[in-house]
Chain A
């Protein structure tokens, strides 16, 4: 079967974990790994797995995009360099999946709004944050039953699974997640709290979701909706589990989750990173299927005059 060729920018933990997932895909074929450090471990690994590599950043990839037929690129670098990477690739008609918290394109949490993005001809799609990927499906599970006035999420991640980039940009991480909890989750107001726990052995990612409904919560309908949404996330993150809840107290619904990773490249406790790469891959696969079926034609994005 024909596959859509992809490039990964950023050969770090996320980029490498993503690479393993793409190698299993029926519709995506990773062909380029882009880094900025010659001889980095991530580039060497990609090279061994048969990808072309460059250590000259996106500029090193650009001359090969057309010849090598790259149609989708994943950016796993940082919020600061993402806009420029995206511009250069969009100009060549490459669809960019953004795994940084830059959030310049429409936000995507696959089981919640991936389908809505299908016909929109977006050339940049943002995957929010790992905390957002883990919790927004649950906010949406409640908000599709009844109106949610306020949603709050607490994401606890193992210290070992949080890189330098996220630590330096923790404010962007917190704000992008809060905004997406409201916008994508469907709550009038959203709040996100992020905790980094250094316990040894490292703790599995834990997430708690509180939703405050406008009217009395319909307990049976919400419980069923939550269970259904858990199953939808498990399609691409098998280790996504409901640990406790939903619990109902007045108008507050509490949901307690655990996210265990697949352990492709990153350890299993790093469910936060796994859910990010799995969501990115799933999003790209939908676009790839649309391209292969002739439903989507990527067009170069011209610089605004």
Chain B
């Protein structure tokens, strides 16, 4: 039997940094332009090929429901694009939240890659956005979120739809940090078999059960060649796969990432860590996300509701999971907390 190392040694993998997009959640969308430029130029210098820059919920995400950004997507993307030399700038775009005009704006400001995201069963809402991504000449990715919520075969059918709309890469996204390595292997191997050879496959992890690096390795072994992570792990919930950790492990296993490991470690330590109010950690609420399969971003509003209504954030998250709430339904956190508080005569 081939070992994991046999499967990955010599493979070329693109590491994609998420700390300036997924990390926006943990920073409540308040990263300054100076911090963005400082971190992005550091990542660029370390050889990270792709850097995502958007409001945590993607283009147009700045809202009362998700939190207002300190700056607009236009300002962030423009500032970063001007200050990187080699890295490509990517954006997240969720149909139903962002509009086509916002994607045109992002391309005008210098973004050259787009992750067009939908819930894992609703790929057919992405046709217009993937179509426009291709029309604008962007590196266009179909991003299937909360992938653990639908069986692998169904997820693969949705991936084929995105591919038929023009997506050049398909991601399996573990938005809840719920998956374990065998599940990742099944899904990525299934995608590799079903999709055309030239279609790339990506994996996006959350570290809620501490499986970010292990799951990402399983994904590479099964055929993925794009892996998302975040410098210092800055991302929703217990964060994303810490990119410098993934880079270090990749180097040991002979995976070619083209990244200068020590420089990346320094960016994480010297530029990202200092801006965080607290480093991402698998606290009881984050573990609950991974354990119960709940969207990682729900963490913040659940903690807020805990403070406001005297409920446990863990109870709220479990209830949201039971009600099968999906990415984007942040408004239902307060609604659920209010209903729970009423039922328990707390308000």
| Chain A residues engaging chain B, CB cutoff 8 angstroms | 150, 152, 154, 156, 159, 164, 167-171, 174-175, 191, 193-199, 203, 206, 208, 210, 212, 243-245, 247, 252, 254, 256
B331 CB within 8 Å of chain A: yes
B329–A156 contact, CB under 8 A?
yes
B32 CB within 8 Å of chain A: no
How distant is B8 from chain A, measured CB to nearest CB, in Å?
34
Given A196-B96, A196-B119, A244-B335, A167 contacting B65 (CB threshold 8 A): no
Q: What are the residues of chain B within 8 A of A156 when measuring CB–CB?
A: 329, 332
Q: How far is the CA of A197 from the CA of B145 in the complex (A)?
A: 12
A170–B95 contact, CB under 8 A?
yes
Q: What are the residues of chain A within 8 A of B332 when measuring CB–CB?
A: 156, 206, 208
Q: Which of A168, A193, A196 meets B63, CB within 8 Å? A: A193
Among B120-128, B176-184, B209-217, B242-250, the stretch that binds chain A is B120-128
B97 CB within 8 Å of chain A: yes
A256–B128 contact, CB under 8 A?
no
8 Å CB interface, B15-74 against A: 63-65
Q: What are the residues of chain A within 8 A of B325 when measuring CB–CB?
A: 197
B96–A244 contact, CB under 8 A?
no
A193–B64 contact, CB under 8 A?
no
A198–B121 contact, CB under 8 A?
yes
9 A-B pairs besides A244-B342, A245-B338 with CB distance below 8 A are: A154-B329, A156-B332, A195-B328, A198-B122, A198-B150, A198-B326, A199-B323, A247-B334, A256-B331
Q: What are the residues of chain A within 8 A of B338 when measuring CB–CB?
A: 244-245, 247, 256
Chain A: CB-nearest residue to B103:
A171
Given A170-B95, A191-B63, A197 contacting B100 (CB threshold 8 A): no
How distant is A142 from chain B, measured CB to nearest CB, in Å?
13
- Residue among B128, B325, B331 having the largest count of chain A Cβ atoms under 10 Å: B331
Q: What are the residues of chain A within 8 A of B96 when measuring CB–CB?
A: 170, 174, 193-196
Q: How far is the CA of A277 from the CA of B30 in the complex (A)?
A: 42
Q: What are the residues of chain A within 8 A of B312 when measuring CB–CB?
A: none
Chain A: CB-nearest residue to B327:
A195
Q: What are the residues of chain B within 8 A of A169 when measuring CB–CB?
A: 128
Q: How far is the CA of A195 from the CA of B97 in the complex (A)?
A: 8
B82 CB within 8 Å of chain A: no
How distant is A299 from chain B, measured CB to nearest CB, in Å?
37
Q: How far is the CA of A217 from the CA of B324 in the complex (A)?
A: 34
Q: Which of B128, B326, B331 meets A171, CB within 8 Å? A: B128
Shortest 3 CB-CB contacts between residues of A and residues of B: A199-B324, A208-B331, A194-B96
Q: How far is the CA of A296 from the CA of B62 in the complex (A)?
A: 45
Q: What are the residues of chain B within 8 A of A154 when measuring CB–CB?
A: 65, 328-329, 331
8 Å CB interface, B101-155 against A: 119, 121-122, 124-125, 127-129, 149-150
Q: How far is the CA of A194 from the CA of B65 in the complex (A)?
A: 12
How distant is A61 from chain B, measured CB to nearest CB, in Å?
31
A-B pairs with beta carbons under 8 Å apart, 20 shown: A152-B65, A154-B65, A154-B329, A154-B331, A164-B124, A167-B122, A170-B96, A174-B95, A191-B63, A193-B96, A195-B326, A196-B96, A197-B326, A197-B329, A198-B122, A198-B149, A199-B324, A203-B324, A208-B65, A247-B338
8 Å CB interface, B291-347 against A: 323-326, 328-329, 331-332, 334-335, 338-339, 342
Chain A: CB-nearest residue to B326:
A197
B99 CB within 8 Å of chain A: yes
